Amino acid sequence: MRRGWLVELRPLIVISGAMLLVQLVNGALGGALNRWGLVPRHIEALPGIFLAPWLHGSWAHLLSNLSGLLVLGSLVLLRSRRDFFFASAFIIIGSGMLVWLFGRTGLHVGASGWLFGFWGLLLARAWFERSLLDLLLAVLVFFLYGGWFFGLLPRAGVSFEYHLAGAFCGVLYAALTRRRIQR
């Protein structure tokens, strides 16, 4: 028997709860946890590769990211939990390393690199997999989030580097994990 949809979404529910809890603590501490964010090319900021996606500058920042994480994460979960976790790890670590190496100096926090990674992954899978489901998911993602393309361009106060690195890692993950098509 197939598990219920709430059980299927448990990873996203736990992640969302953890992010809300971190923001609650961070807000109570006046944003002090953000010192654990990512600062490019600073050795002491290397933990930020793993921690920055869990930290946010404000409640509005977090809620904006959570809405995208819930939608795009749900679509990634359609394949499997295993794929969701491997894709998440690849995107978080890969985009964090790229931002640490090449990002503008300054503090980078937020889950947008993760979100753009899911965005790139879901769009790229349509190309690499060429299945009806992946094509339909890509059309849905493009319809809902097509404007995110402009998030890949530099803008003041926004870590476009995380957006670009996340999207790149999502596309790369799709390429590396594609199923070989028999001809």
DSSP 98-144: HHHHHSPSS-B-SSHHHHHHHHHHHHHHHHHH--HHHHHHHHHHHHH
CA 27 – CA 59 distance, rounded (Å): 8
Band (pLDDT 50/70/90 cuts) for residue 150 is confident
How much is the mean pLDDT over the chain? 94
Q: How far, rounded to the nearest angstrom, does the alpha carbon of residue 138 sit from its chain's CA centroid?
A: 16
Q: Domains (ranges, CATH) in the chain?
A: 5-176 (1.20.1540.10)
What's the mean pLDDT in 136-154?
A: 92
Residue 4 has pLDDT above 90, yes or no: no
The count of other CB atoms within 10 Å of the CB of residue 153 is 10
* φ, ψ for residue 153, nearest 5 deg: -95, 150
Q: What is the pLDDT of residue 122?
A: 98
- Contact in structure between 78 and 132 (CB atoms under 8 Å): no
The residue ranking higher by pLDDT, 124 or 151, is 124
* Residues 106-136 pLDDT 10s: 999 999 999 999 999 999 999 999 999 999 9
